[in-house]
Amino acid sequence: MKKYLPASKCVVCEKTIEAIGGRRIVAQQLRGLRLSEKYEGGGNPNLPRRSFPLDKEKSLFMVVWGDIWTDESINRALKEFHNDRHPWFCQICGKRTCSECKYPINMPVGSDCIDENGCTSHCPILGFDPGCINSQCRKYKQWEK
């Protein structure tokens, strides 16, 4: 499957990663989006997976799930894929923020993230506090990438 570079803005709030900080998220257990070669549905009965064709042959679908998807964010995501960019959502929209100050935490645990080069990686859930990116917060931890 084709590798896409990340879109310039969060598909939900339309802010850049430079404005928000943190990482670009593409998937979590409760919310996300992905490409699939088959139609997908079902999952959470309250927020089921929904599939949208990306080509006329219906051989490639954008699949979304979770509480962040509106008609507007879905249309923005489809437009990004049609422009050869991978949509993503920020840590604020993905609820991976500091419990004190609401800035992004250093590592968006339980999330698949997309890097500048279009590669994705998983941030596992580990038994430690990754700390906050906000240097003014009491939970701040300097983080080396």
| pTM over the 0.85 mark | yes
Domain boundaries, the chain: 5-123
Q: Tell me the pLDDT band of 2, cut-offs 50, 70 and 90.
A: confident
Q: How far apart are CA 94 and CA 8, in angstroms?
A: 17
Segment 46-73 shows an average pLDDT of 93
Q: How far apart are CA 118 and CA 105, in angstroms?
A: 22
Please tell me the predicted confidence (pLDDT) of residue 32. 97
Segment 69-86 shows an average pLDDT of 97
pLDDT tens digits along 83-134: 999 999 999 999 999 999 999 999 999 999 999 999 999 999 988 889 999 9
Segment 36-47 shows an average pLDDT of 89
3-state secondary structure of 128: coil
3-state secondary structure of 79: helix
Segment 34-60 shows an average pLDDT of 90
Least confident piece of the model among 33-37, 79-83, 127-131: 127-131
